Structures are given as structure tokens and as C-alpha cells.
Structure 1
């Protein structure tokens, strides 16, 4: 009996150590490795876009109630990075790639784009998802976004500035939040929206924290970075 109790105790201690190591790996190591990989992807995209940029012809930002012609007119292959998201409220150094797809593997690579939703700047709903913890946690501070905050999306030739209009907390089954007109399934879109989704609360997948933003303006990359990229909130 004593030997059995001793063996059981050793097994429980071993299990506890393994569980602790798993938590450390899940919460910290994946952040480190995915964060580095995502930063590398951002750098690669910026270099690629700079290399293929046309001769600069500066133009002013264009305010738009409906979306203009956009440069990402075809859905990229699943897993491919095609855009970069900047959120000034989260700091001037915040820049995370957007990859096609929202599966487990895609969300390790950055922010995921929901299949069959609009592309950046298009009329409809450019819907994206990101982790709040683990794998670089790109949407860790999603609750801090305030009405009027800028969410800037860069593609190979354009900058798209969206402004936060609302947020909500919903069930994971409420997929209407990523409908072409958010929360109005079946409605015909006339504006360009961006919807950000993340698990809520942190460390749980029980609900989703959702932020809706409306396209405010579009600017060619040849005109330089938009003024909306200026950091806010003391970051």
C-alpha cells in the first residue's frame, strides 16, 4: 500500500510539472515564436511592396462613403499573408500580418481573414479574427478600442483607414456579426466595414468580443503613410 501511494504521488507530481510546462509553452513560448514570425512576415511584405511600387505620384486621402476599386481583388490562397493591420491605440510599433483563413494554423501566423467576407476596402464586411492570448496575441487589447479609434489596413498599393463605431459581446454561434452588413444577415451592403473578433473573456472561448469599424478613407501608398497612423492614448 505504501509503495502504491508513493508511486501515485510521484505520478501526480510528474503530471503537475508537465502541466506547468505546457502552460508556460502555451502562454509564453508560442507568443515569443509566433510574435517573431509575424514581425518577419510584416518586414517581408513591406520589402516586397516597396520593390514593386510604381513611381510615386502623391495623392491626398480620399474620403469615401462607398469603397473604391481595391487592389486585392482575388482571394489569396489559404495561409498566405496579403495585408498588414495597424492599430494606433495599441502603440506605434503594432503591426500584424493578415493571412487568409481562420483555422488553427492560420491564426498562429497572425490575424486571420474569414473566408468569403470582403477584402480590404470592398463594400461589405472585411472580417478578421485574432488570438487574445497565445500565438502573438494580436487582439490581446481589443477591449481597449474606443469609438472613433483608427484601425488601418495596408495592402500592396493602398492604405485603408477604418474608424471604430461599436462593439458587442456575443455567442460564438452568432455568425451574423461577420455578415456583409454586420448583424443584418441578408441585407445588401452599401458601405465598407471591418469586423474584428476575438475570444472572450481572456483564456476562454465561451463568447466572442466583436468590434465593428467603418471605412473612412483610402490613400495610395505612394502618398506615404496616412495621418491616421499617429499613435493615441499615450502609446
Structure 2
């Protein structure tokens, strides 16, 4: 074998090894993003749900303490996204908080209160709670299970906005500075699903409130 041939063979072998290594790294990254992050979030959600049920038992009329970042606040149920679609909403929207589940924007209203109850969530990886948020239609119901009762919101609008359009989580969505008079909800996630160049935003209006004693809305009992 000539020197040039031997050199070419060595180069090809090194290239093949490099491609195998790159392939292994990409496979590991895909496993982390598509599998392991979901496992981590599922584990975190189980813990939050257990704590939420304990809070319901200990404070059946609602806990008055101001929530801390990472605390579980309430449970969202959206039948349009699946009969078993159930996610604990945590306080805060920092990335590490959203990795545990949908996050409540601090300083926005709590469920049932006048103002805008605003929640953000991942659309891909970490359990992807809002993966199919684009399937929500006007008139669909979003149920919030809180320590002090049940709140039913009805979807009234949805739109795609720029990431900089933060007024969608204002007390009156889209109208910063205006004093709220209604109880609304805003759900925010990335758009497109595997990108973040825009935001998908869904708005809803409170249409019913039920006490803990009254139990969940009929649609959730089926």
C-alpha cells in the first residue's frame, strides 16, 4: 500500500469514527429531550399533585399564604386535549420552573379573581403540556381545580403574536394600563411547536364557579 493510499484509509477511518461519535451524541441528545425530560417532569408533577391534594385536605377553603416560586397552585383540566389531560400549575415562569409544568405568571390574577390569570407552558419536551394548545376552539372549556373550588373558563379567542408582545398577560389582555372588570385567563406557549420565533396565545373568560362541596363540573365526572 502506498503512502498516499494509507493516508487516505486513515482519514476515512477517522471520519467514520467521527461520524459514529456524532451520531451517538445526537442520539443521546434526542433521548434526553424526547424521553428523559418527560420522565423528570412526570416525577415533578406527581410530587406537586400529592402536595396539592394535601393542601386541599388541610385548607379546604384555600390557603391564604402568598405562593412561592415553584409552589403548586392549582390543577388545569382541558378535555379538548384529552380525557386524562391534567397538569398542576406552579408559581413562576422561569425556565427551571416551567420544566416542572405550566407556570403562573407572578403578579397576574389567581383563578376566579378579577383580572387575568395567565399561564405559560412548554409545547415540546418536559412533558409538553401545551403541545396541542392550537387545537382549542372558541367555546371549549378550561377547568381550574383550586383548593377553594372549581373555576370554569370558556375559550373566547386565540392568536399568534411576537415574543415581545407581553401585553397579552396584562390585567386586560392587549390593553396595558386598563383596569380589569372581568375574570379572564390567558394560556401562552411557543409557536411553532419545535420553535420559539412566535407565541401562541389562547384567551378565555370565567363562566362558572363551584365550591369544593359542589364537586367538579359535570363534564369532568363523565
Query: TM-score scaled by structure 2?
Result: 0.89
Please state whether the residue corresponding to 1:118 is helix, strand or coil: coil
Partners of 1:140 and 1:133 lie apart in 2 by: 6
What is aligned with 1:210? 201
The answer to whether the Cα contact below 8 Å between 1:162 and 1:217 also exists between their aligned partners in 2 is yes
The alignment partner of 2:213 has SS state of helix
Alignment RMSD: 1.9
Q: Secondary structure at the match of 2:24?
A: helix
Change (3 A) 1:72 1:209: farther
Unmatched runs of 5 consecutive residues or more in structure 1: 55-70
Alignment of 1:93-172 (within 5 A): 93-172=84-163
Counterparts of 1:125 and 1:74 in 2: how far apart (Å)?
20
2:20 alignment counterpart: 13
Query: Equivalent of 2:57, from 30, 40, 50?
Result: 50
Which protein has greater RCO, CA pairs closer than 8 Å, 6+ apart? 1
1:59 maps to: none
Aligned to 2:21, what secondary structure does the other structure show? Answer: helix
CA distance in 2, matches of 1:24, 1:193: 38
**Does structure 2 retain, via aligned residues, the 8 Å contact 1:120–1:126?**
yes
CA distance in 1, matches of 2:57, 2:80: 26
Q: Do the aligned partners of 1:72 and 1:155 also contact (CA within 8 Å) in 2?
A: no
Aligned pair in 2 of structure 1 residues 171, 73: CA closer, same or farther (>3 Å)? Answer: farther
Aligned to 1:76: 67
Q: Is the 8 A contact 1:42 1:95 kept in 2?
A: no
Match of 2:165? 174
Q: For the residues of structure 2 that align with 1:9 and 1:29, how far apart are their CA atoms?
A: 28
Q: CA offset at residue 20 of structure 1?
A: 1.9
Secondary structure of residue in 1 paired with 2:216: coil
> How many residues are treated as equivalent by the alignment?
215
Q: Quick check: 1:180–1:189 contact (8 Å CA) kept in 2?
A: yes
Structure 2 unmatched runs, 5+: 1-6
Q: 1:51 to 1:209 in 2, by over 3 A?
A: same
Identify the residue that residue 181 of structure 2 maps to in structure 1: 190
Aligned to 2:3: none
Structure 2 counterpart SS, 1:222: coil
Q: Does 1:221 align with 2:212?
A: yes
Superposed CA offset, 1:18-42 (max 9, x none): 1122012101221133124313422
- Contact residue 51 and residue 72 of structure 2 kept, 8 A: no
Aligned-residue offset at 1:95: 1.1
